[in-house]
A and B are shown apart, each in its own frame.
Chain A
């Protein structure tokens, strides 16, 4: 019975900790805001319907990837009959303009990291000059005999 205050204190601490997800954000003034990708203004419709793209754009991109690289195909015929060139940088980013304003918004929110941009060039990035190790006359030519 002497332990009662200790036990009650421990229980109270436990309750506070376990209910953190419910009170912490409210106390810090944070609201649960969903991701807000910046939608393109020119086009209202993507390659496929929005619902499909939301759920399956990754499958579409992987399919495009294999068809372009491994089968040498170039054109995708959408379900509405439109023809598109299968290219992440040149087709998708043609409308969606900026990876940072579109792709990253949802992907950062969902903490899903993408290896795409390790290789594929974000067009907005290429438009800015790349300052590091700029050599006179562009990418250095190879010397002979090496």
Chain B
């Protein structure tokens, strides 16, 4: 076969380009899927016992604990607010509940947080993989990589994500040295206390709840308290028709 110099060099460049194509995205995703070095299969999820929570109206201990543990800033301007877990009215969380909502729940506020969906639209849209789903179920954020495009915020059907519109540091009353703050220009949300889970502690909100209304556990462990609650009580998820498979269950 005869080949001239030009064709040879051209073929060489094409081969180089193919070789050099970064498989980084795929590799990293594969490595990330390996997730935490946990021995048994783990799928973290949470159940919120609505009745127990409503027995203490006005309690915001879970919110305060989370904000303290994660240096979540407190901003005066409502537009700029950053929240990882907060309390929201039942009608807002379940908009299709309508006028037939039981009186016990009308106008009452219960905790809302990132649902760590099994099929998260936020992960699907992130252009830099700054947010991804770990094998143990947690939808993670990498604040080093986030470019602040807020596409994930547009994609989230639950309003769980917040953006740092300004530098958060001046708005943190007590700095927790064991956890970083974030900088302006990145998106943040509940991380299911993955830094606490890594050392065997439960999430801060779960630990501090005086009503033990937040049940946290491993869905893959049939003996976990979480599985027990979900087996014995009726629970609803937020907007299940969207196919996101949220992993925060509201137990009625």
Taking the nearest CB of chain B, how far is it from the CB of A62, in angstroms? 9
Query: Does A139 reach chain B (CB closer than 8 Å)?
Result: yes
CB-contact partner of B180 in A121, A127, A134, under 8 A = A121
Query: Does B89 reach chain A (CB closer than 8 Å)?
Result: yes
Q: Is the CB of B92 within 8 A of A141?
A: no
B87 to chain A: closest residue by CB: A144
Q: Is the CB of B170 within 8 A of A133?
A: yes
Q: Which of B27-35, B211-219, B220-228 contacts A (4 or more CB under 8 A)?
A: B27-35
Chain A 108-137 interface mask (CB, 8 Å, partner B; 1/0): 000000010011110101110010111101
Classify chain B: how many residues form its interface, as a range.
35 or more
A130 to chain B: closest residue by CB: B175
Question: What is the bound-complex CA distance between A140 and B81, given in angstroms?
Answer: 11
A69-B144, A126-B175 known; A139+B73 contact, CB < 8 A: yes
Question: What is the bound-complex CA distance between A120 and B176, given in angstroms?
Answer: 10
Q: Is the CB of B68 within 8 A of A139?
A: yes
Q: Is the CB of A120 within 8 A of B174?
A: no
Q: Is the CB of B183 within 8 A of A142?
A: no
Cβ–Cβ < 8 Å partners of A145 in chain B = 87-89, 92, 109
A125 to chain B: closest residue by CB: B175
Question: What is the bound-complex CA distance between A83 and B68, given in angstroms?
Answer: 30
Query: Does B182 reach chain A (CB closer than 8 Å)?
Result: yes
Question: What is the bound-complex CA distance between A71 and B36, given in angstroms?
Answer: 7
Taking the nearest CB of chain A, how far is it from the CB of B45, in angstroms? 18
Taking the nearest CB of chain A, how far is it from the CB of B4, in angstroms? 43
Q: Is the CB of B86 within 8 A of A142?
A: yes
Query: Can you name 13 A-B residue pairings with CB atoms under 8 Å?
Result: A121-B177, A121-B180, A130-B172, A130-B173, A134-B174, A138-B173, A139-B67, A139-B174, A140-B67, A141-B67, A145-B89, A145-B92, A146-B78
Extra inter-chain contacts (15) besides given A70-B132, A145-B88, CB under 8 Å = A118-B183, A119-B181, A120-B180, A130-B172, A130-B173, A130-B174, A134-B174, A139-B73, A139-B74, A139-B173, A140-B67, A141-B63, A141-B67, A144-B89, A144-B109
